[in-house]
Structure 1
């Protein structure tokens, strides 16, 4: 069983653990503060989602990240180290804190293994100046969370990383063997995702008709020339008589939306999770990838209807204009720090199970020593989630939207010891508690938007999370 193999692997790594810990102890004495030790070993492949699932009741901090179509999955338990940022400077604060931690760390990693070395989950608010309704406790303006245990796989190989802070007299043997025993206990038996319940009721967070009225107000301001575009979010509240199971929800999303970024950050009694089709940015080596995803259409019931709907989306002047705004902004931002920024001249279609989007990938080569969090700060929020002009649209949202977006529509992802990583835009998402969940969807509003059609677009986008929670449709 994997649990026994993990314990055996930990025993084999004891010499390395002690070597790294002794190095960290010397640094800790010199610096007068604890130093990070991170040791990675190869283990037999097992589903990281099982670790996430069995961490319920064991720790208040859990994470999951997966791109099923690429075979990538990683789960983390506990918090060896965490950092909370606040205010508009949250990205720079988080980047500096991570650099400071890694600068003195003692790391034993194998680049050939997936997610080897320390990897922190990262999440941020959409707008730290947005009104706070208190529902996002545990999800600060910016959060870096380095788990004690990380189990990762790329489909062919798997790694176990154990992280801990070492002081002048910390025993790494006890630290790592304790972690191995805990993982053995958690993964010692086969795991199967439970069935999703069906006893779920729904209601809009706003009174009937209020969201369409807000869209109409936005259209009036757009036609008056006060804005070029503004993206409005809608919130739906779900209630269940039986507790929600975040692991079962993630399993359903992974099964039904394999081409998306599946993510979850659990804090205390809540889990923010989703299946986002939209990459904000990734950095690997010198290569930067970003995605322009704006303009949406439902899927068809037959291949012929689906193709016709896709062609209608490609021909839509409203959606093409909305998409072009996002693509121009991303290109301009990347050209400030990249060479050879390239993108196709025309968008294509990205199809997921319930919706299709206009999609343009962008690629660049980084110029300077820029980390992934620096790129996140440059790009967020794109016009696909905020609007244009950016500051004018954000001010409109703060004043008129009537909800606390929290981490919805914001960057969520991971960063490694080299400052590289990948971030998705946290759409198709929900904040899930034991018996209640807050689901979010947005729509880009332009001068010729129709309020009823825009609300219907949010209905289509909500279906992914509603199905995964067992709620059916809006």
Structure 2
């Protein structure tokens, strides 16, 4: 959900999981077949009405976490024109019982600890990556690290999402299959065949204030080059998907409470056969979350970072039976444990260039972690 619109689903009419390099196409085909079999009565006919599914995908082709599409039993949606409710039922779920709504509970004391890649490991990884970049093995590599979050009481998704929406009203807040966050980056938003996407690359923490951060970002040759690589990667992908010219606006400065970003927006009309999800899959991973050239950057990430990123920095969002969709990048996020209600794993990363300073890159991840940690304050 965003500042003026959103979708909240509960219950499960059906779900499916996907894996491998074709997971986006597989998921779209599964949903298309579901739409063909469904009887849909939609008198509202706005984005997010009718048969609608939520999804969250893995970053890598090979990951322990599967990519998941969920069709809820009920959806509450709203936009500037009003609100609606969608009821979705199958033969198995046609008979429903009254739900008991529990009070929203606080998580209590929060304990943070290093995940698989601690601070020293991250700075060492940055140093090693800078050396590889200086030898020309790649132009840019995005490295991430993780935090382990443990709470005194079980985590209540409703409380976490409410705190994030309040703290970051201009971001897209999401919570799907335990993946929760507030992202400023929309990968593929489609309305009536028209796609828009936003690229964020180049960041500066606001610890010294917004004005100082903006000045530092505008004058940083490293961040300007980093943003250009990310923008070029998206523009190249859109050239293959668009039926006409791609319109560009940027780079501009996007201000968030914890960090400022260089931001460029793109718009295009999708060519026949493309959907929001397949477009997102073709664009992913952009140079903003992987690096460039893509294959070289991903190999370095796998070798030096060594994390299974799960669903971090991958598409997360929704699609409806009319072809509308919002697929954002799962950033400023945490994956809630499916087996331990008191545990979550948070992620943050940054783009590494041959002129990167390890201490500054570590500081950038700290600033980005501060966003998801707002949910646990």
SS in 2 for 1:336: helix
Tell me which residue corresponds to 1:153: 78
Q: Select the structure that is richer in helix.
A: 1
* Separation in 2, partners of 1:196, 1:296: 31
Match of 1:386 among 290, 298, 303: 290
Asked if the contact 1:114–1:158 (Cα under 8 Å) also holds between the matched residues in 2, the reply is no
Deviation, structure 1 residue 367: 2.6
Cα distance in 2, alignment partners of residues 337 and 161 from structure 1: 31
* Unaligned segments of structure 2, at least 5 residues: none
Contact 2:118 2:146 in 1 (8 A): no
Q: For residues 153 and 11 of structure 2, what CA distance do their matches in structure 1 show?
A: 26
Alignment match, 1:244: 155
Q: Which residue of 1 aligns with 2:321?
A: 417
**1:123 alignment partner, one of 38, 48, 56:** 56
**From 355, 360, 365, the counterpart of 1:458:** 365
Q: Distance in 2 between matches of 1:209 and 1:114?
A: 46
1:101-116 equivalent positions in 2, closer than 5 A = 101-113=34-46, 115-116=48-49
* Structure 2 counterpart SS, 1:182: coil
The answer to whether structure 1 residue 256 and structure 2 residue 181 are counterparts is: no
Where do residues 44-443 of structure 1 align in structure 2 (5 Å cutoff)?
66-67=1-2, 69=3, 71-113=4-46, 115-130=48-63, 132=64, 136=65, 140=66, 142-154=67-79, 156-166=81-91, 175=94, 178-179=95-96, 182=98, 186=101, 194-195=105-106, 197=108, 199-205=109-115, 206-266=117-177, 271-299=178-206, 305-338=209-242, 339-344=244-249, 346-433=250-337, 434-443=341-350
The answer to whether the 8 Å contact 2:106/2:153 transfers is no
Deviations 1:276-328 (A, max 9, x none): 01111111112110111001112256xxx422320220121100000001111
Matched residue, 1:45: none
Q: 1:237 to 1:421 in 2, by over 3 A?
A: same
**1:446 equivalent in alignment to 2:353:** yes
Matched residue SS, 1:109: coil
Contact 1:125 1:406 in 2 (8 A): yes
Higher alpha-carbon deviation: 155-164 or 413-422 = 155-164
Inter-partner Cα distance in structure 2 for 1:314 and 1:193: 43
Q: Secondary structure at the match of 1:209?
A: helix
* Aligned partners of 1:428 and 1:462 also within 8 Å: yes
Distance (whole Å) between structure 2 residues aligned to residue 335 and residue 207 of structure 1: 39
Whether the aligned pair in 2 keeps the contact of 1:76 and 1:147 (CA below 8 Å) is yes
Q: C-alpha displacement at 1:192, in angstroms?
A: 8.0
Q: Do 1:114 and 1:157's aligned partners in 2 also have CA atoms closer than 8 Å?
A: no
Indicate the SS of the match to 1:165.
coil
Moved more, 221-230 or 428-437: 428-437
Runs of 5+ in structure 1 lacking a partner?
1-65
Change over 3 Å in CA distance of 1:458–1:257 after alignment to 2: same
1:119 and 1:222 map into 2 onto residues whose CA distance is 43
Structure 1 outlier segments of 4+, above 6 Å: none
- Bigger-Rg structure (1/2): 1
Q: What's the TM-score once normalised by structure 1's chain length?
A: 0.75
Contact 2:192 2:323 in 1 (8 A): no
Task: Provide the aligned length of Structure 1 versus Structure 2.
Answer: 372
Is 1:469–2:373 an aligned residue pair?
A: no
Conservation of the 8 A alpha-carbon contact between 2:258 and 2:371 = yes
